[in-house]
A and B are shown apart, each in its own frame.
Chain A
C-alpha cells in the first residue's frame, strides 16, 4: 500500500479505523517509515544507486537470460541459411525471409500436425475439466459411505507420473486398436487427479447456505452443480482448464510412443521428426521456425491469462 504525502491525515486515521488489528496507532516516525515504502521512493536520491544496482541490474540480467534465447529463436526463424551458417551473426535478420516456414510445411505435414495438436488439446482438456468438476462435486456434496477412501485413491493417483504407466498403457491402447490414432493419444490421460483435487478444495470452501437455499427450492444435484457450484467457481475452473491446456499442448512422451505416422503426430512429436531429418548446419532456421510454431501459441495464452496459469501451476505452495 502506498500512502502519498498529499493525502490528509484524516484519511489515514479512517483507514486505521477500518482495520484496527492490522494498523495500530502509528507514531509520526513510523508513518514516515511507511511512506518510504512507496515505490516512488525507489528513485529518491539516497535509494537511486541501491535501486539500480540491487534492483534493476539483476532483473535486467535475468531478463536477458530468459528473453534472449526466445528472441534469437524468432530472429533466426526469419534468416536465410547464409545468415545462419555465418561466423558473424547479427541479432536481427539482414534479409528477412519467410522461407523457413514454408520449408517446414514442405518437410512435414505441418498444418495437419497443428490441427492434431489443437484437436487433442481442446477435446482432451474439455473432457478432463468436465470430469474434474463432476468428480469434485460428487466427492464434496453427494454423501456416500467411503467417499473419503475414494478421494485418498485419487490422491495417490496424483503421485503416479504418466511415464510409469507408459508401457502397460501402450499395450492397452494398442490392444484396443488406438495405436496411431488421435483418440489413442487422448484416452489414457483423461482420468484427472490434479483437477479433481484442486476443485474439491475449492468446493469445500463454498458457503453451505448457498446450497441449502437451493435445496428448499427443490433443486437436485444437477441443478446445484451447474447453476450454483460451477458458476461461482469459474476462476478455479479456468485455472484447472488452462493448466490442462498447457500440459496437453506440450505433452511429448505419450504421443511420441503411441503415434507412428506423421499424419497423426502432434506438434512436439512432429518437430522431433523434423529435427531428425534436418541435420544440416543451414537448417537451424527451419528448426527455429518449427520451434516458434509450437512455442508461440502458449506464449500468447500465457501473456493473456497468466494470473490463472501461475496460480494453478504453483498450487499448494501457499497455505
Chain B
C-alpha cells in the first residue's frame, strides 16, 4: 500500500469518526440540551449573578445601585441583625435535626418489631412529610392558638396556662421547631427502619446468646452498625432544615420575629419590607457555600469513616 493511499484511508477514518461524533453530539444535545439549558439559565446563572448583586447597595426595583465591595457580607457576619439570623438558624437546625432524628429512631425501633399493623403505621407516620407545609402550618396555627387552640385546652386540663407562642420570640422558635419535627420525623423513621433491617439478624442473635440485654444490644451492636444511616440522616436533615422550612416559618410567623432563619431572611430582605436586594443576594451566596461545605465534608470524611457492611 502506498503512503498516499494510506493517508487517504486515514483521512476517511478520521472523517467517519468526526461524522459519527457530530451525529452523536447533535443527538445528545437534542436529548439533554433543553434540560442543560434550563439548569444553566435558572440554577447556574443565578448563582453567579447573585455573587455580582451581593457587592451592590441596591433596592429591588430601583434603577440605581452602588458598588460597595464586601460590605454586605461584613454586615451579615458582624451586625446584630445578621448575628441574630445565625443564632436563630443554629437553634432551629439543631432542634429540628436532633428532634426528628431521636424521635424517628425511637419509632423505627418500635416498627422494627414483628407486630401486625406495622406497615400501616409506617405509612401513617410518613404521611406528614408529603403534605403542604402551608396547610400543615395552618392546622398547627389553630392548635397553638393560646385561647382556642387544642393545645391550650389540653394544657388547661392539667392546670397549665398556654405560653404566648406568637408574642414571645423564644416560644415562637420552639413552636416552629415542633411543627417541623412533626412533619419530618416520619422521613427519619423510615430511613432508620431501612437501616435497622439491613443489620444481619445473626449478630443480634449472637449478642442475645451472650446474654446481652436489650440496651446493651442496642448500644454495642445496633448503633455501631447504624452509623452510616445516622450520618446520612444528619447531613440530609441539616441541608433540608436549612432550606425546606420556609413554608412553615412564613405561615406561622409572617413577620419572622424570632424565627428568621437564613432562608427566611433571604426572602424578607429582598421581598419583605426592606427590599435590600444586594444584602439578600449576599446571604444567598453565604447559604450556598454553607451547604456546599457541609456536602463536601460529608463526601470527604464521613463516607470513609463509617461502617458499611
Q: How far is the CA of A276 from the CA of B250 in the complex (A)?
A: 11
Name A285-310 residues within 8 Å CB distance of B.
287-288, 290-292, 294-295, 298-299, 302-303, 306, 309-310
Interface presence of B195 (CB below 8 A) = yes
Q: How far is the CB of A190 from chain B (nearest CB, A)?
A: 5
Within 196-255 of B, Cβ neighbours of A (below 8 Å) are at 198, 205, 228-229, 232-233, 236, 243, 246-247, 250-251, 254
Given A163-B263, A164-B46: A139 and B148 interface contact (C-beta under 8 Å): no
Contacts of B284 in A (CB 8 A): 163-167
- Which chain B residues border A316 with CB–CB below 8 Å? 232, 236
Nearest CB on B from A296, distance (A): 9
Residues from chain B with Cβ under 8 Å of A172 in the complex? 41-42, 45-46
Given A62-B107, A317-B232, residue A131 in contact with residue B34 (CB < 8 A) = yes
Q: Tell me the minimal C-beta distance from B260 to chain A in angstroms.
A: 14
Query: Would B38 and A167 count as touching, CB distance under 8 A?
Result: no
Q: Give the contacts of B120-155 with A (CB-CB under 8 A).
A: 121, 123-136, 138-143, 145, 147-148, 150, 153
C-beta contact mask, B29-65 vs A, less than 8 Å → 1, else 0? 0011011111111111111011001000000100000
B31 in contact with A221 (CB, 8 Å): yes
Q: Is B91 an interface residue (CB 8 A)?
A: no
B-chain residues with CB within 8 Å of residue A67 when the two chains form the complex: 124
Q: Contacts A137-B31, A191-B37, A192-B38 known; list 18 others, CB within 8 Å.
A: A33-B205, A39-B116, A66-B128, A69-B150, A72-B143, A135-B31, A163-B243, A168-B49, A189-B42, A192-B35, A250-B134, A252-B134, A268-B134, A288-B139, A292-B135, A298-B131, A299-B127, A318-B198
For residue A284, which residues in chain B have a CB less than 8 angstroms away from its CB? 142, 145, 148
A38 within 8 A of B: yes
**CB of B258 within 8 Å of the partner chain:** no
Q: What residues on B are CB-neighbors of A219 within 8 Å?
A: none
Can you identify 7 A-B contacts, CB atoms within 8 angstroms? A142-B24, A160-B291, A168-B50, A191-B41, A221-B31, A287-B142, A291-B138
Q: How large is the interface on B (under 10, 10 to 19, 20 to 34, 35 or more residues)?
A: 35 or more
**Pick from A41, A281, A306: contact of B126, CB under 8 Å:** A306
Q: Give the chain A neighbours of B37 by CB distance below 8 A.
A: 191
Q: By the criterion CB–CB under 8 Å, are A165 and B47 in contact? A: yes
Interface contact B251-A58, CB-CB below 8 Å: no
Give chain A residues whose Cβ lies under 8 Å from the Cβ of B115: 39, 42, 51, 55-56, 59
Q: Does B165 contact A (CB under 8 A)?
A: no
Enumerate chain B residues within 8 angstroms of A169, measured Cβ to Cβ: 42, 46
Residues of A within 8 A of B34 (CB): 131
B98, CB-defined interface residue at 8 Å: no
Mask of A147-187 contacts with B, CB within 8 angstroms, 1/0: 10010011001011101111111101000000000000001
User: A281 is contacted by which of B28, B113, B148, B266 (Cβ under 8 Å)?
Assistant: B148
The 3 A-B pairs of least Cβ separation, nearest first, read A191-B38, A165-B46, A168-B46
* B27 CB–A CB distance under 8 Å: yes
Q: Knowing A157-B39, A167-B280 touch, does A135 contact B32 (C-beta < 8 A)?
A: yes
- Write the nearest CB–CB distance from B69 to chain A, whole angstroms: 19
Distance of A72 Cα from B117 Cα, bound (Å) = 23
CA separation between A39 and B31, bound complex, in Å? 50
Known: A143-B24, A253-B246. A271 touches B134 (CB 8 A): yes
Asked if A164 and B47 sit within 8 Å, CB to CB, the answer is: yes
Taking the complex as formed, is A70 at the interface, i.e. its CB lies under 8 A from any CB of chain B?
yes
Q: Is A113 on the interface with B (CB-CB < 8 A)? A: no
B19 touches A (CB below 8 Å): no
Cβ contacts under 8 Å, B251 to chain A:
272, 275
B275 CB, min distance to chain A CBs, angstroms:
11
A168: which B residues are within 8 A, CB to CB? 45-46, 49-50, 53, 281
Q: Which residues of B contact A144 (CB under 8 A)?
A: 21, 24-25, 28
Whether, in the assembled complex, B274 has its beta carbon less than 8 Å from a beta carbon of chain A, the answer is no
Partner of B138, one of A159, A164, A288: A288
Contacts of A250 in B (CB 8 A): 130-134, 247
CB of A73 within 8 Å of the partner chain? yes
* 8 A Cβ contacts from A40-55 to B: 41-42, 51, 54-55
Residues of A contacting B27 in the complex (Cβ-Cβ under 8 angstroms): 138, 142, 221
Q: Which of A56, A89, A276, A295 has most B Cβ within 10 Å?
A: A295
Mask, B97-120, CB within 8 Å of A = 1, is 000000000110011011111100
Q: B73 at the A/B interface (Cβ < 8 Å)?
A: no
A138 CB contacts on chain B under 8 angstroms: 27-28, 31-32
CA distance A66 to B184 in the complex (A): 11
Is A257 a contact of B124 with CB atoms below 8 Å? no
A261 within 8 A of partner (CB):
no
Q: Are A69 and B24 in contact (CB under 8 A)?
A: no
The verdict on B270 contacting chain A, using a C-beta distance below 8 Å, is: yes
Bound Cα distance A301, B111 (Å): 23
Most buried by B among A66, A190, A196, A288: A66
Q: How far is the CB of B112 from chain A (nearest CB, A)?
A: 10
Q: Which of A38, A55, A246, A313 sits near B187, CB closer than 8 Å?
A: A313
